[in-house]
Structures are given as C-alpha cells and as structure tokens.
Amino acid sequence: MNTDINRFKGLLPALLTPYDKNGKISSDSLQKLTDYCVGEGVDGFYVGGSTGEAFLLSTEERKQLIKLAMEAVAGKKPVICQVGAVGTDIAIDLAQWAEKNGADAISAVAPFYYPFSKEQILNHYTAITDSVSIPMIVYNIPGLSGVSLSEDDFKRLYEHDRIIGVKHTHHNLYEMERIKSIDPERLVFFGFDEVTLAGVAMGADGAIGSTFNLMAAQYIRLRELFNQGKNAEALEKQKMINDIISTMIPMGVFTALKYAITSRRGIPMGNVRAPFTPLSNEEKKTLDTVLDKYGI
C-alpha cells in the first residue's frame, strides 16, 4: 500500500445530513456541524453513510452532499465518502465524483436487495476501487444490507492493495478481530456506538459513529481512559453514553440526534426524510431529561 493509512485512524462522526425549511440540504448547517465536530476534536468524517440518510437521497443529492461536505471540512480533517449503491455503475459514478471533489477515501456498503452471489459482490468492490485512485474502506453492515462479509471474503478483497480496511458495523467482535488479523496493517473501524469500548479493546483502529455528531468529546474521553489503563472509568463513560443511546433508540437515533443538535448546539438540522417521522413532544421531553442529566 502506497497510502499513508494512519491518518484515517481515530474517531470519525458518521455525518448527519441537515436540511433547510424546504427539505433541501443545508450548506450553512453542514458548515456549522463540521466546524463544531472539529472543535470537539474529531479525527475525520464519514460522509453519506446510513446516518447521512444516503438511501433516502437521490443520486444528485448524494453528489451535492459530498461536494458541500468537502467544502465545509476544507481539508482540516480526512474525509471518507460512502458511495455504495445497488448498481455498480451508480457506485462508480459517485466514487469518481467523490475523488473529483477531494475525498481522501471512499467507502461502500455491499450491493443489497437482490440475491447477488459473493463473487458478484466481491467483483462489485473491485470495480469501484479500480475506477478511482483513492483508497476504499469496505462498509460491512449485515444488519441493514443483508450481506455478511466473512474472513475469507476479506482475504480476497485485500488482494487489492487500495482496499485498505473495513467499517465493521456488527456486534460480532470475534469476526472483527479475525478480519484485523488477516493483515494488521489494514484498518478496522468499529461502527456501533453502544459498544465502542469493546471495539477499541478488541483492536479497532478507530470508530465511526452517529452519536459522535452530538457528543464526540465523550468518546474521545472514553478512548483516553482506556489508553491510560483506566478500564473501570472507561466502562462508566460507556454506560453513560448508553443511557443516552438507549433513550434514543425507540424514537429513532437519527431523528433524536437531529432534534438534540438543533436544540442543544443551535445548529438547525431539519427533520429526517420520510418515511421517518419527527419526534413527538413527549419524546422530546424524554430525551431532554436524559441529556440534562448528563449535561450534554
């Protein structure tokens, strides 16, 4: 690998997509959100993923989001753009657009909905990676894609030297560790906020998370405590985070985050795209109570 992959390590918000009052992507709020996250100390950004509502956006909106995010970050931190799509040609188009607009790396969820064979899925990744000169980070999220990439699959994928790692959004940490062991130089990002500590303990190089948009400082502190050997304190920090996450889950994490960032950080985020629905007044009160408890 000719790429300096160490610069991608660390804690990266899976960036939310803010909308204005007309439901269009808000460049102003995107700028404010990225500035806020940089100020909190994040190590980079992951744009256009599940948290960013990628599959509720048109292809043109996904391109707009990439362009606006790259302009907002303005080289201050590395940016990974998620370009996955069911069709290989669509993913290639998005990958080339991301590269053209200055993305540091691309990522892609496996093609879903149709029962593609593993050979077809692996060929899909190779074709996307070959279409650009920047590195690829595979997005393994079987709970949403329905595709679980195995250790053997990654042995095949890693034959391509610009496939530099994986975003592993799966509770199977044994599988994550085994993937990491194939080539310890390749990156593993863990993708479930509620067990970030476990992911770090099992060898992840970093984490990409939804709730980092709101409370990156809490995760940064968790990582510091773990690195200092203060495991009990790190666990208490994870428990605090999980109190907030468990409150958000029944009401929809992305919806809850947009409300919290709007009300707590003063950054207008708009609602989540339909068929998601906004929080009820009762849900807002419930969320405010737990955020007040922890001073978030």
pLDDT at position 199:
97
- The pLDDT tens digits for 6-37 are 999 999 999 999 999 999 999 999 999 999 99
Phi, psi of 147 (to 5 degrees): -115, 120
CATH code for the domain in which residue 221 is found: 3.20.20.70
Q: Please return the burial class of 266, using the count of CB atoms within 10 Å of its CB with bins 0-12, 13-18 and 19+.
A: exposed
CA–CA gap between residue 142 and residue 167 (Å, rounded)? 11
Supply the Cα-derived Rg of the chain in whole angstroms.
18
Identify whether 58 is part of a domain. yes
Identify whether 85 is part of a domain. yes
The fraction of the chain above a pLDDT of 70, given in percent, is 99
The fraction of the chain above a pLDDT of 90, given in percent, is 98
- The pLDDT tens digits for 151-180 are 999 999 999 999 999 999 999 999 999 999
3-state helix/strand/coil string of 232-287: HHHHHHHHHHHHHHHHHHHHCHHHHHHHHHHHHHCCCCCCCCCCCCCCCHHHHHHH
Opening angle at CA 96, ends 11 and 14, nearest 5: 20
Host domain of residue 143: 9-230
Domain count of the fold of the chain: 1
Q: What is the mean pLDDT of residues 231-251?
A: 98
CA–CA gap between residue 168 and residue 294 (Å, rounded)? 28
Identify whether 124 is part of a domain. yes
Residues composing the chain = 296
Q: What is the mean pLDDT of residues 111-130?
A: 97
Catalytic residue among 167, 180, 237, 258: 167
Task: Evaluate if residue 3 carries a pLDDT over 80.
Answer: no
- The pLDDT tens digits for 132-150 are 999 999 999 999 999 999 9
pLDDT at position 109:
98
Identify whether 248 is part of a domain. no
Answer yes or no: 167 catalytic.
Answer: yes
Give the global pTM: 0.97
Identify whether 264 is part of a domain. no
Task: Evaluate if residue 1 carries a pLDDT over 70.
Answer: no
Identify whether 263 is part of a domain. no
CA–CA gap between residue 242 and residue 198 (Å, rounded)? 13
Alpha helices in the chain (DSSP H): 27-40, 59-73, 88-100, 118-130, 142-145, 151-157, 173-182, 196-201, 212-227, 231-248, 253-265, 281-294
Nearest to 57 by CA among 69, 45, 75: 69
CA–CA gap between residue 42 and residue 56 (Å, rounded)? 26
pLDDT at position 4:
85
Catalytic residue among 36, 46, 125, 139: 139
CA–CA distance from 30 to each of 64, 115, 227 (Å)? 12, 36, 32
Q: What is the mean pLDDT of residues 239-257?
A: 98
Cβ 135 vs Cβ 164: under 8 Å: yes
Answer yes or no: 285 catalytic.
Answer: no
- Which residues have C-beta within 8 Å of that of residue 32, sequence separation ≥ 6? 267
User: Would you call 86 helix, strand, or coil by DSSP?
Assistant: coil
- The pLDDT tens digits for 257-288 are 999 999 999 999 999 999 999 999 999 999 99
- Going 206 to 211 to 216 to 221, the CA torsion angle's sign is negative
Identify whether 211 is part of a domain. yes
Identify whether 250 is part of a domain. no
Structure token digits, residue 33: 């959100």
Taking the mean position of all CA atoms in its chain, how far away is CA 85?
16
